[in-house]
Structures are given as structure tokens and as C-alpha cells.
Amino acid sequence: MNDGLEKTKKAAWRLLAFRPRSESELRSRLTQKRLPPESVESVLADLRRDGILDDTRFAKLYALSRIQGRTFGKDRVKRELLAAGFPSEAVEGAMASIVRH
């Protein structure tokens, strides 16, 4: 395994150990560390494939915690998710699951 890929994996796991992250946020953080772009994309693909990086699941958890934990409405939470870089499909899925709760 090449050194850049190993460093990228370690950095990704450190970031994910601290707290869950969206794919967009994780990509941004890894890129800020000046890790090789091809290694970043490879690690992100592996994390998606293994079900560790799942924007839809993370968006649902985020939306639920924001709505239940505070007095934030669904519109505000939806704007926050979109501003955080979540794909619109993940945001719509999250908001639909909140309506059912």
C-alpha cells in the first residue's frame, strides 16, 4: 500500500473517531491536510462501500437531533444540511424520515 493512501486512511479514521461527518466535510478536511486527491477519493469510496460513510443516514441523525434537541424547525434544519454540503437526495430523505417520527 502506498504511503499517501495509508496516511489518508489514518487521517480519515481519526476524523471519524471524533464525530460522524458528511462525505463533503470529510473530503474537505482531508484535502486541507494536503493529502493526495486520488488517495482521498479512494478512501472515501472505501468508506462508502463499507457503509461507514453514509450521507443519508448521517443527515437523518443530524436532522433528528437538531429538531428534537432544540426548537429548530424543519426548514432551518433543511437549510443547514444543504449549506453543510449534503446531497439534496440525502436531505430530502432525512426530512421525510423526520416527518414520520
The pLDDT, as a whole number, for residue 49 is 97
pLDDT for residue 97 is more than 90: no
The pLDDT, as a whole number, for residue 26 is 95
- Tens of pLDDT, residue by residue over 43-71, are 999 999 999 999 989 998 888 888 887 76
pLDDT, mean of residues 16-35: 93
**What is the signed CA dihedral for 51, 52, 54, 58, rounded to 10 degrees?**
140
Q: Which of 38-42, 62-66, 81-85 has the highest mean pLDDT?
A: 38-42
The pLDDT, as a whole number, for residue 85 is 85
Mean pLDDT value across the chain: 89
Span between the terminal Cα atoms of the chain, in Å: 45
